Amino acid sequence: MSSSTTSAAPSISLWHAVGLGLGVAIGNGFARFAYALVLPSMRTDLAWTYAQAGWLNTANAIGYVMGATSGYVLLRQARPSTLFASGLALTVAALALTGLAGSLAWLTLTRFGAGIGAAWVFACGGALVAARYQSRPALLGKATGIYFGCGGLGIIASGLLVNPLLALGGPAAWPRAWLALGVVAMAAAVWPILESRRVVGSGNAVSGERLSLRALLPSLVAYFLFGCGYIAYMTFVFAWVRGEAMSWQFGTLVWSVLGIAVAVSPFVWRRALDHWHPAVTLSASCAANGLGSLVPLLSPTAAGILLSAALVGLGLFIAPSAVAVLSRRSMAPALWAKAIILFTVVFSVGQAIGPLFAGWVADHNGLGWSLAYGAAVLGLASCVALIRLGRASARMAEAGR
């Protein structure tokens, strides 16, 4: 193993992380976040309340819970690369099929399926990145950030694809928007599937060893709260922009700024990912998201909304990057996938609760209050992440990095 690793090491570049990261672009940028772009048209055409609109994101998040939980079990028999590729295939199919019918039952089913597939991609991809760069620890922090940051490419692409299509076709064009996302996702899935097959040394990622939940507990709770809070912004911010009578062109600009900020975030946070304690990085990313969620309420201007999108984008995927780094630094390689999936489970439970409650808040008090709810939960997450930081730092220093 050592000889093959040594010979392969010089050929490893950050492009491998980009290839795997296209899975995040599909599973999160397309399958999860693009719903915020299509939601106003679907709500108009199907005469939904905000609670019904929020329910579809909750259905997607419940699928995410099921995907993360089943992945925890399936990785006892399947390689991470196999589950990663299967998740991509399921996500692409669910995207393309979403627009075939307008019934809430059908849309719930397709959004649920997309959630399962995206969870397999997200969790297994993180483990594949860790395995791919195990022989190059100097690149691992950057590679992890780039992998998650590729979600920004999906956000940008979905905005450029969906908004013009809906502007030309009106609210009734929402089925074509989902089909277009599915077709583009199908083409984009080729590279990450091929890249996942090139990863060696990942094996069957889940071993019989047990995780130490006590050491991870504050970060787990903070990550759960992050899931509850950030999703309020990502579900309803575009509807809020439309509610302020701003043009679809400006909405596309906001979405593009968000995606660009996600894409560059690994470089902005490079030092944090490489040198800070992961709990501090997690706390800071939650704070950035919370602040970004508040800005539109404090400054409901074009400049304020663009600043909001930039702040949220810069912090959005740094939270999962931080927990991936925490898993790598605090436990043996055989437990990396198990830890990342555990974090994904608690995060996805938060994602399932967040949009339904945020939709209820929006129906009763307005969209602004749903953004305020998300910001408050993110502020709490930022504080919780720092609990027991001193003890955790001491244990991590003893274990080495």
Reported as a single tens digit per residue, the pLDDT across 156-188 is 898 889 988 988 888 899 999 999 999 999 999
Q: Look at residues 360, 123, 52, 370 and name the one whose alpha carbon lies nearest to residue 234.
A: 370
The DSSP string of 116-141 is HHHHHHHHHHHHHHHHHTTT-HHHHH
**pLDDT of res. 205:** 46
**pLDDT of res. 9:** 44
b/e sequence 323-341, b meaning 16+ C-beta within 10 Å: bbbbbbebbebebbbbbbb
Amino acid in the structure at residue 282? L
Give counts: helices (H), strands (E), the chain. 19, 0
Domains present along the chain, CATH in parentheses: 13-205+214-399 (1.20.1250.20)
**pLDDT of res. 321:** 82
> Which of 12-16, 64-68, 193-197, 309-313 has the weakest average pLDDT?
12-16
Termini Cα distance of the chain:
21
Taking residues 337-356, report their average pLDDT.
79
Cβ contact 281:329 at 8 Å: no
CA dist., res. 209 & res. 150, Å (int): 31
Instruction: Report helix, strand and coil shares of the chain as percent, to nearest 5.
Output: 85, 0, 15
pLDDT beyond 80 at 372? yes
pLDDT beyond 80 at 46? yes
Non-local CB neighbours of 317 within 8 Å, separated by 6+ positions: 24, 145, 148, 149, 151, 152, 262, 265
**Residue showing tokens 């899935």:** 189
C-alpha angle 77/227/142, rounded to 5°? 70
Cβ contact 396:329 at 8 Å: yes
Give the max Cα distance, the chain: 63
Across 248-252, 257-261, 349-353, the highest mean pLDDT is recorded for: 257-261
Q: How many residues does the chain have?
A: 401
**pLDDT of res. 138:** 72
**Residue showing tokens 């998300």:** 374
Neighbours of 280 (CB within 10 A): 16
- Measured CA to CA in angstroms, residue 274 lies from 255, 329, 401 at distances of 28, 11, 11
Non-local CB neighbours of 388 within 8 Å, separated by 6+ positions: 217, 218
Could you give the 3-state DSSP secondary structure of residue 146? helix
Check the CA dihedral 314-317-323-328 and report its sign: negative
Mean pLDDT for all residues in the chain: 81
Across 18-22, 241-245, 248-252, the highest mean pLDDT is recorded for: 18-22
pLDDT beyond 50 at 27? yes
Burial (Cβ within 10 Å: 0-12, 13-18, ≥19) of residue 97: middle
Q: What band does 116 get if pLDDT is binned at 50, 70 and 90?
A: very high
Amino acid in the structure at residue 82? T
Q: Look at residues 227, 224, 258 and name the one whose alpha carbon lies nearest to residue 241.
A: 258
Neighbours of 216 (CB within 10 A): 22
**pLDDT of res. 333:** 67
b/e sequence 10-23, b meaning 16+ C-beta within 10 Å: eebebebbbbbbbb
Which helix H or strand E contains 158, and what residues bound it? helix 151-169
Q: What is the 3-state secondary structure (H, E, C) of 280-294?
A: HHHHHHHHHHHHHHH
Task: Please give the backbone phi and psi of residue 12, each rounded to the nearest 5 degrees, phi first.
Answer: -80, 125
CA dist., res. 239 & res. 45, Å (int): 14
CA dist., res. 389 & res. 352, Å (int): 28
**pLDDT of res. 57:** 78
pLDDT beyond 80 at 12? no
Cβ contact 224:319 at 8 Å: no
Read off the pTM. 0.76
**pLDDT of res. 232:** 80
Name the more confident of 381 and 334.
381
CA dist., res. 6 & res. 324, Å (int): 24
Taking residues 132-138, report their average pLDDT.
75
CA dist., res. 384 & res. 389, Å (int): 10
221-237 confidence digits (pLDDT tens) = 999 999 888 888 877 77
Q: What band does 399 get if pLDDT is binned at 50, 70 and 90?
A: very low
pLDDT beyond 50 at 82? yes
